């Protein structure tokens, strides 16, 4: 009888030990599962952070590259449109000061100085307009965009049709970014795309939406994805600053289409 009881107790102890062992194995398995899962999540988060950092570096690089390009352009414009002309004025003035020319030649020199200074004033106004359009500051974004479109149309190189409904939803700084985006789009359409017509629509409700289409030569989306030009990088950088989204479609020989959306802050 006692032997049977001892055997039963031994079996119970074995069962308990097996149960404890099973629980320990399960606990170990759970610990390993959570460890590797957490490690996988950490790796994914690290990879995501690395990609975000790389994107921010690229964005910063693009912004700096754009700024340097603008500085070079402004410096070249100042040299070509102002410095060189003022140098001619200086030389002509020295000739007048010497007083060793005939009256008729003196009159011609004065007229030449007047023409040069008039052209220089016009060039300086144009440079100031390109840096910060007065109409944008004084009359707002819609008027500035309409004037920009009309200026391109008046060049006879392209016809720009527009339908703009803007509700003053952006800050002045953000308005300048959007203006520069459109300026870049138009420049690309004319210079690179050789477009003859552009259609622009801007609506401003809960989201500001810009729809832009040209009939230019277009481009290969796959090639652009690998090697974006400074113009497209500049546009994407400004959209990123505006915390907006952009998508574009194009086929060689069939123009280009851009859609930009900016949610009101």
CATH code: domain of residue 222: 3.30.565.10
Does 35 share its domain with 120? yes
Q: Would you say residue 6 has pLDDT above 60? A: no
pLDDT at 74: 67
Does 155 share its domain with 124? no
The number of domains in the chain is: 2
**Which residues span the domain enclosing 196?**
140-265
Q: 212: closest CA among 135, 131, 148, 154?
A: 148
Q: Would you say residue 43 has pLDDT above 60? A: yes
Q: Answer yes or no: is 9 within a domain.
A: no
pLDDT at 68: 63
pLDDT at 63: 63
Q: Answer yes or no: is 151 within a domain.
A: yes
Q: Answer yes or no: is 8 within a domain.
A: no
Confidence of residue 229 (pLDDT cuts 50, 70, 90): low
Domain endpoint, select from 105, 131, 157: 131
pLDDT at 163: 97
Does 122 share its domain with 157? no
pLDDT at 64: 62
Highest-confidence range of 63-72, 146-155, 230-239, by mean pLDDT? 146-155
Does 121 share its domain with 177? no
Q: 251: closest CA among 200, 197, 214?
A: 214
Mean pLDDT for 130-136 is 75
Does 151 share its domain with 262? yes
DSSP per residue, 58-110? HHHHHHHHHHHHHHHHHHHHHIIIIIHHHHHHHHHHHHHHHT-S-HHHHHHHH
Q: 133 and 172 in contact (C-beta within 8 Å)? A: no
Does 28 share its domain with 124? yes
Other beta carbons within 10 Å of 205: 10
pLDDT at 61: 65
The percentage of the chain sitting over the pLDDT mark of 90, rounded to a whole number, equals: 27
Q: Answer yes or no: is 6 within a domain.
A: no
Confidence of residue 50 (pLDDT cuts 50, 70, 90): confident
Domain endpoint, select from 62, 96, 131: 131
* Contacts of the segment 2-6: beta carbons below 8 A, 24+ positions apart: none
Does 117 share its domain with 160? no
Q: 139 and 168 in contact (C-beta within 8 Å)? A: no
pLDDT digits 0-9 by tens, 187-227 = 899 988 999 999 999 999 989 999 999 999 998 887 765 56
Q: Answer yes or no: is 195 within a domain.
A: yes
Sheet (strand 197-204) strand order: 159-164, 197-204, 207-214, 256-263, 245-250
Does 188 share its domain with 81? no
Confidence of residue 24 (pLDDT cuts 50, 70, 90): confident
Mean pLDDT for 238-255 is 91
pLDDT digits 0-9 by tens, 88-132 = 778 788 777 877 777 788 788 888 888 888 877 777 766 666 666
Q: 120: closest CA among 152, 149, 84?
A: 84
Report CA dihedral (17, 22, 28, 30) to the nearest 10 degrees: -140
Q: Answer yes or no: is 2 within a domain.
A: no
Give the residues across from 202 on adjacent strands: 164, 210
Domain endpoint, select from 131, 150, 180: 131
pTM of the predicted structure, to 2 decimals? 0.60
């Amino acid at each position: 009888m006692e032997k049977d009881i001892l055997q039963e107790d031994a079996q119970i102890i074995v069962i308990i030990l097996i149960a404890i062992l099973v629980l320990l194995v399960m606990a170990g398995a759970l610990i390993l599962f959570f460890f590797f899962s957490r490690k996988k999540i950490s790796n994914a988060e690290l990879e995501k952070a690395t990609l975000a950092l790389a994107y921010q570096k690229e964005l910063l690089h693009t912004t700096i590259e754009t700024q340097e390009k603008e500085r070079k352009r402004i410096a070249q414009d100042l040299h070509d449109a102002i410095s060189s002309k003022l140098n001619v004025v200086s030389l002509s003035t020295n000739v007048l000061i010497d007083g060793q020319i005939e009256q008729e030649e003196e009159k011609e020199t004065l007229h030449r100085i007047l023409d040069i200074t008039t052209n220089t004033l016009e060039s300086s106004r144009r440079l100031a307009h390109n840096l910060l359009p007065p109409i944008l500051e004084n009359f707002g974004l819609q008027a500035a965009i309409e004037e920009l479109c009309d200026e391109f149309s008046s060049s006879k190189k392209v016809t720009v049709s527009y339908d703009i409904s803007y509700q003053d939803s952006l800050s002045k700084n953000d308005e300048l970014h959007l203006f520069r985006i459109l300026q870049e789009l138009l420049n690309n359409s004319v210079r690179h795309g050789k477009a003859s017509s552009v259609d622009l629509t801007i609506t401003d409700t809960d989201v500001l939406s810009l729809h832009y289409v040209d009939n230019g030569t277009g481009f290969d989306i796959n090639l652009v994805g690998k090697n974006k030009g400074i113009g497209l990088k500049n546009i994407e950088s400004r959209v990123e600053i505006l915390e907006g989204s952009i998508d574009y479609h194009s086929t060689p020989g069939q123009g280009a289409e851009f859609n930009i959306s900016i949610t009101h802050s």
